[in-house]
Structure 1
């Protein structure tokens, strides 16, 4: 099965328990999503551990033993426990201590989406830790905000038609929240999130084309609300596959609302607050020799020092690391003055905004930048490069001196860092790929008048 996803899967996931038929079906589905599903014999250096308890009666102590073996083989892996919808409340409460519960019958798309969210949280947390180590070891003055999850009371939004599910959600959340707002439509939910901040939202969608599904897609694209977790209670676990295709990422059964919604909202809100704090730290850390004052990108000095740490981390964990080399060209018409530094700096700052929080965007030349993407395959880095190129080439920039509008064309080159290669040689490899890449002919020009 690993041949179908190539030599560079997005992540390695160890699968324990379950019959051979279930293993084969999951292996195929995860391979289509770009993940490698391996057995417990290959658990070393895995990213996620899956424990399949569907159709099995397993004591909490046995589950704890299995989770302990997986963590011993791969200490940094998160544990997800797959259960069927018929498991009783006492068993679910006991298993929740050892890993996150995911209800599934036959369609694994909801499980795959949950794995993506777990990996994203892991990547941000790891980069925050490694960057803090680099800042502490620079021996230079630097500034960064603290990483802390505030202990403020919870504020939860419940959206959906009135009924038993909404009543169960309200009864489960009222004792643990400071404010629990209930609305009945997607329009009311939109007005609620525009006028107030919520830690978690619970959307009681009736079908996969419910207007609430369109709202959750819009929220995920909005910079102000993208970090707000949204939980979807479902009557059928297999509906998670259809909801996941439309932007949903967190699910639970409607029958489990009374017992499980409260603990799930509490841990989800705490993770969301911690994730916001880590992203704020990654975006705001700066200081002498850390950030380039003109472009806001990291300096070549910090790239060398922090990149060496990331390269060692990639070799230790077995994860891929990709590099994106970028060269900016300010477009001018014949007879017009060359753009000032402000226009170039505006374009450079936009690179920081369209890259992920865990990526390192550094300035290595006057108009040349390099983006280090930890835990990223070359194929995914190519998609990121196309996104950066599309955003910059469709944005108009203004010079501060003559008020002239300018466009930007950008050359990109993507390469994967070979295992064991030092950061200096890796950067040279990416810049050589950018230099040797043939220039694509322009299909047209834009008028910025």
Structure 2
């Protein structure tokens, strides 16, 4: 089943990419090619008028070969072009070449008499730069359309991924829905039927709860995607309709569009990481000395936190040389999420202070991280580990967080036989306690 779902996801990514390229090509063909052809014809007509003017001017030097040659070279140099004059009677040609190399050019031909005895064929080669073609400046429109297609593709793939992930559960529910929803009679003297009845009721409650959670998750994802997408759409409409005249304002809009797209990318990354943790990730566990691990964490954030107007104080009470048996990279990710959660939800009026305490207890390594932020209400302590849960915005400096950081932490810790919970320290703020099993001595 898992390989089947992965194959479907691969096919979906390929189809979305192909459709995006087709739509982008159709947009360019419909709105850009016609303008490009018009501008090209105007440019050719301009060059032809310039060539006619040259022929009229060179006719003034009839019978004066030296002055004709001088004018030919001077005109070619002044206009950075190449002019070839071929004498049909003598079979000789003169070429004045001042055309820049490595540049796109267009060649036009004409013929005129320049004196009474000789007939000359002229070949004109004009330089063409991208600045001469105004439709090329519409590349910003193409970029805007590409960003819009990227965002829409992300939304489609997110919805499709969710449907694939739910497919096994939905299939199970559909096959057993009649049995689960049935009203079973109560048999007080039949213990076996009593257990079956109780199990089915619990299964029904679990499925209902899971369905409610999935609906809440989809509502949260839709809200988080809709906000930046609405902004991106608004700014791109102004750019595409030519309502933004100044280059400075256009650059400002591009930066806003990029920032909003980055928010969507961050949300999809967090969502992908959460789903991977929920679907039994492959752990690379190894022996990690507790002393060196704690020193590494403390050193890293003692250096980093001052750049966020924050500081870390560490205290360690470890007896002996215990070791952990964990996936070190994932556990480091847990500490990164917890510490950055403290930074994001700290008060803006004072310096952030995070205390990091480590000790051992009953074959477990205990890590306690406490901050001096506003904390959370006591009744919401367990909710902060639920996916897409957010505290009151008034308590947070971050307005568009994914709400998955602590949920990812919980999944990573519990997958490695550990525990994590939140508490309220006596001095205020929020505390996170992480317990990881120690490696048994060999």
Please state which band the TM-score falls in when normalised by the shorter chain: under 0.3
Q: Could you say which structure has the larger radius of gyration?
A: 2
Normalised by the size of structure 2, how large is the TM-score? 0.24
Higher relative contact order (CA 8 A, sep 6+): 1
Is the helix fraction higher in 1 or 2? 2
